[in-house]
Copies of this chain bind each other. A is one copy, B any other.
Amino acid sequence: MTGGGPASLGPKADRDSVRRQNLSLVLRAVHDEGEVTRAGVAARVGLTRAAVSSLVEQLLGGGFLTESGKTFSGQAGRPGTVLKVARTGPAGIGVEINVDYVTVSVVDLAGTDRVRLTEHRDHRGAPPEDVLGHAAAVAARAARSAAEQALRPVGVELALPGLVSVGTVRQAPNLGWTGVPAREVFGRAFAALEPGPGGQPLPVSAENEANAAALAELWFGGLGRVRDFLYLTGEIGVGGAVVLDGELLRGAHGFAGEIGHTVVDPRGPACRCGARGCLEQYAGQSALLRDAGLDGDAGATGVEELRRRAEAGDARAVGAIEEAGAVLGRVLSGAVNLLDPEAVVLGGIYRELTPWLAAGADRELAARVVSGLWPPEAGRLRASSLAGDAARGAASRVVRAVLADPLKYAEHATM
C-alpha cells in the first residue's frame, strides 16, 4: 500500500538513480582506459552506443571528460574522437600530517599529482590546534595553486599517523594526541582561509596515514597483479596497513594495521604508546639515526645523510640499517605467518633504505615464514614505488568519490 503520493515518483527516482550509476560507469571506464572512443566505452560497459553518447555528453558538459579529434586505431567501425578524463575541474586534496612534516597533494581526476607541497616542522609537543592550523594554511596554498591550473577541489582528506575514527584521532602516540577532533579543527581553519564555492566549505574527512599510503601503492604503485599485501611506512613511528584482495582491512573497530607496536623485547626501551620494547623503538626513524651515530632528531636531512653514508659503505650506517632490518624481518615474519600476503611493501623512509633493510630482513623471513615461500629470491619484500604516499592516497580517495558519483560533484546543478 503506497498511499496517494505522485505515482511517477518511484519510477522517476529509479530512472534517475540508474542514470546516475551509468554516469559513474562511463566515467570510470574512461578513467581506467586512459583514452577510449565512445564505441570502446559502449563495448566495455555493455550499454548501447546511443545511451553511452548521451551519458558522455552530460559528462563533457559537466567538465568531467574532454575529447580530442585524434582517431583511435585498432578499433573496428568508423574512427571516433578520443575521450579522456578532464585535466581541469574536480580534484581532491590530501593532507598528510606526520610527526615532522606536512605534505599536501592535489590530485586530478586522472590520478595525477598536480600540486605537491611539503613543509618540515617538528610537531611533537605542539598543540594540535597549531599543527592542524598550519596544515590548513599549507592546504589552502595548495588549493590556490590548483585553482591556477583550473582545478576545482571538491574535498579534503587528512592522513594522520594514529588511530582515526569518524574524523577524530583517538590515539597518535608520536604526536602525543589523544581524542583530537582533527576533522573539525582542520575544517574550521581551512574554511577561514578558503571559504569554498559560494561560501560552502569543502567536506573534510580523515584516515590513517599508512592506510592512505597503502591505497596509493595499490592504485599507482608497481605492484602489478598483487592484491594482498602488507604495507609498512617508516616515519618517526612505524605505520602499517593490510590490503586483502584489493581492499583495506579495517578491523572490527577501524584500527587494523598497527604493526609499529609489535613487541620486540618486553624489557626494551619505553615507547610513547606506554608499553616497552615496541618495533618503533628499534626501527623507527630516531632509533635508526641514533644507531648509525647520527642525531635521532635530525629528521629528513638525517635520513638523507644516513642513506648517503650507507651508499658510501659506512660500516656503522650499514650495520644500523641491517640490524633494524633484522628486527623488522622478525616482526614481519609473524605478520606474514598470520596473514599470508603476496608481498610486503616498505614505504616512508624505508623506501630509500630498502637495499640494506632487506639484507637484514630477508634472512629472518626465509628462516621464519613456515610456508617457505619467502626466500630472498622470491622478491616479496620490496620498496614502495616513488608514486605511493599518504597525501596522494588521501587525495585520490576524494577523487574516487567523484568517480563513484559524478553528478554529486557537478559544478552546475543543471549538468
Q: Taking beta carbons and an 8 Å cutoff, which residues of A are in contact with B?
A: 163, 170-171, 173, 228, 240, 242, 244, 249-259, 261-263, 266, 273-275, 278, 330-331, 333-335, 337-342, 367-368, 370-373
Contact = CB atoms under 8 A, between A and B. Distances in A.
B340 A251 contact: yes
A278 B338 CA distance: 13
Contacts of A173: 370
A371 B170 contact: yes
Given A252-B341, A261-B370, A335-B338, 9 more contacts: A173-B370, A244-B249, A256-B338, A257-B338, A257-B340, A259-B338, A261-B334, A331-B334, A334-B334
A252 B340 contact: yes
A250 B340 contact: yes
Contact of A263 (B228, B257, B273, B333): B333
Given A228-B251, A252-B341, A330 B266 contact: yes
Contacts of A368: 261, 263, 273, 275, 278
Nearest to A245: B252
Contacts of A228: 251-252
A240 B275 contact: no
28 contacts: A163-B371, A171-B370, A228-B251, A228-B252, A240-B338, A244-B244, A244-B249, A251-B339, A252-B341, A252-B342, A253-B340, A253-B373, A255-B370, A255-B371, A256-B339, A257-B340, A258-B337, A258-B338, A258-B340, A258-B370, A258-B371, A259-B334, A259-B338, A261-B333, A261-B337, A261-B368, A262-B333, A278-B368
Nearest to A250: B340
A171 to B, nearest CB: 6
A251 B341 contact: yes
A366 to B, nearest CB: 10
As for how many copies of this chain the complex holds, the number is: 2
B334 A249 contact: no
A244 B256 CA distance: 12
Contact of A337 (B259, B370, B373): B259
Contacts of A342: 252
A317 B408 CA distance: 65
A274 B331 CA distance: 17
Contacts of A371: 163, 170-171, 253, 255, 258
A340 B259 contact: no
A299 B141 CA distance: 69
Contacts of A240: 338
A242 to B, nearest CB: 7
Given A263-B333, A330-B266, A372 B171 contact: yes
A279 to B, nearest CB: 9
A255 B258 CA distance: 21
Nearest to A242: B338
A377 to B, nearest CB: 17
Contacts of A334: 259, 261-263, 331, 334-335
A256 B371 CA distance: 9
A256 B373 CA distance: 12
A49 B162 CA distance: 54
B262 A339 contact: no
Contact of A370 (B163, B250, B252): B163
A271 to B, nearest CB: 9
A255 to B, nearest CB: 4
Q: Which 4 A-B pairs have the closest CB atoms?
A: A251-B340, A262-B334, A258-B337, A256-B340
A245 to B, nearest CB: 9
